Amino acid sequence: MKNILYILLTLTIFTACGNVENEIKQKRDSIMTLHDQLMERGEIIVRNKLKLDTLQNNLSIFAGSMPGLDTAATKQELQVISRRLQMADNEMSDWMAAFDPVQEGKSDQEKKKYLDAEQEKLYRLNSMFDTALSQSNDYLQKFKKK
């Protein structure tokens, strides 16, 4: 009877460990997927920033076809949007450099806590990307029509 209890206890411990390991793996995979999606959008961030910076230096070309265009104010707006793109890009770059997916020597609970926090950071970054991209796309669209 005692032996059966020991076997059951051992099995329970093994199953619980397996579950935590699985949970950590799933969390890590989901972070990687999010990271890869952000990297893909990072290409658009760089592309849009390049366009906005080019636009800033060539506003006089549009002045002819856009009566009432306040080049000084537009330049300032372009700089703000460009800086926002740069900030989002820098944040992503800093996250990548600091992220440690292995967490050597840490307990499973510590690993899980760390990955949860990192996932939250990526969600915040994702929102930052959304705002920066949507603002820059809207602004570029205005000039595309001309």
Partner 1 sequence: MKYTYWMAAAGLFLAACSSNDNERKLPIYGERTAVKTTVDGKEKTDTLYQTIPSFRFADQDGDTTTNQTFEGKVYVADFFFTSCPSICPIMSRNMKTLYDTFKDNDQVRFLSHSIDPRHDSVPALKEYAQKLGVNDRRWLFVTGPKEVIYPLAEKNYLVAVNEDGKAPGGFVHQGYFVLVDKKKRIRGAYDGTDKTQVQKLGEDIGLLLSEKE
Residue 50 in the binding site for partner 1 (CB under 8 A): yes
Query: Cβ of 103: how many Cβ atoms within 10 Å?
Result: 16
The correct pick among 23, 77, 89, 108 for binding partner 1 (CB under 8 A) is 89
Q: How far is the CB of 62 from partner 1 (least distance, A)?
A: 21
| Residue number with CB closer to partner 1 (56 or 66) | 56
Smallest gap from residue 134 Cβ to partner 1 (A): 17
Among 21, 70, 94, 110, binds partner 1 (CB under 8 A): 94
Find the binder of partner 1 among 49, 84, 125, 128 (CB under 8 A): 49
Candidates 23, 42, 66, 114: give the one binding partner 1 (CB under 8 A): 42
Q: Which of 66, 77, 99, 119 binds partner 1 (CB under 8 A)?
A: 99
What are the b/e assignments for 71-94, b being 16+ CB within 10 Å? eeebeeebeebbebbeebbebbee
Interacting span for partner 1 (CB under 8 A) from 10-18, 47-55, 73-81, 122-130: 47-55
User: Which residues sit at the interface with partner 1, rule CB under 8 A?
Assistant: 32, 35-36, 39-40, 42-44, 46-47, 49-50, 53, 89-90, 93-94, 96-97, 99, 101
